[in-house]
Amino acid sequence: MSIEKVRAYLKNLGAEDRIIIFDASTATVALAAAALGCEEAHIAKTMSFLVDGSPVLVVLAGDVRVDNHKFKQAFHKKGRMIPFAEVEGYIGHAPGGVCPFAIQEGVPVYLDISLKRFATVYPAAGDDHSAVRVTPDELFSLAKAAGWVDVAKYS
């Protein structure tokens, strides 16, 4: 199971205690926010793209969308969402539990600056009933992020 991979990954980094398990689904931003009792903006949603045929993860605040123009500026190529049925093969986690931890080797992770507005954010932990409580800087370190980007469109 993906959550077990994430648990082992975070244990090696001394952060296994940050995982929160829920009885309720956390598969969407709205469901995760309801389970955590927080605003949707605090959910760190991990979106998977193909850029020139290679997978890339971008983690954004739950209240923003991807601005295609900004995405192209940041990555110098147009990205397209990985089709639902192909996400697990490319990333290592199924939709609803995609997170920037314990992913397929070689998949770069970028964090959007929209996350920096908050003291605490909650990415998934590998399945659709989990989250990880972290600061944006901790998320950057734990995810071994390649960098910060500005690709968000605020509503």
Q: What is the CATH number of the domain that holds 146?
A: 3.90.960.10
Residue 135: predicted pLDDT: 98
Q: Give the domain range for residue 79.
A: 2-154
Residue 1: predicted pLDDT: 59
Q: What is the DSSP string of 60-106?
A: EETTEEE-HHHHHHHHSS-EEEPPGGGHHHHHSS-TTS--SSSPPTT
State the first-to-last Cα distance of the chain, in angstroms, to the nearest integer.
35
The residues, any chain, with a CB within 8 Å of residue 58's CB and separated by 6 or more, are 46, 47, 49, 66, 71, 109, 110, 111, 112, 149, 151
Place 27 in a pLDDT band, splitting at 50, 70 and 90.
very high
Say yes or no to pLDDT of 87 above 90: yes
Q: What is the dihedral of CA 60, 61, 67, 68, to 10 degrees?
A: 20
Q: Tens digit of pLDDT for each residue in 106-148? A: 999 999 999 999 999 999 999 999 999 999 999 999 999 999 9
3-state secondary structure of 150: coil
Q: Residues 38-54: what's their mean pLDDT?
A: 97
Q: What is the dihedral of CA 74, 91, 13, 108, to 10 degrees?
A: -20
Say yes or no to pLDDT of 6 above 80: yes
Q: Determine how many CB atoms are found less than 10 A away from the CB of residue 54.
A: 12
Q: How many domains does the chain have?
A: 1
Residue 155: predicted pLDDT: 77
What does pTM read for this prediction? 0.96
Residue 109's nearest CA partner among 64, 66, 49, 69 is 49
Please state, in angstroms and rounded to a whole number, the distance separating the CA atoms of residues 108 and 56: 5
Mean pLDDT across the chain, nearest whole number? 97
Q: Residues 69-90: what's their mean pLDDT?
A: 96
Q: Residues 30-43: what's their mean pLDDT?
A: 97
Residue 56's nearest CA partner among 9, 114, 103, 10 is 103
Q: Residues 41-65: what's their mean pLDDT?
A: 98
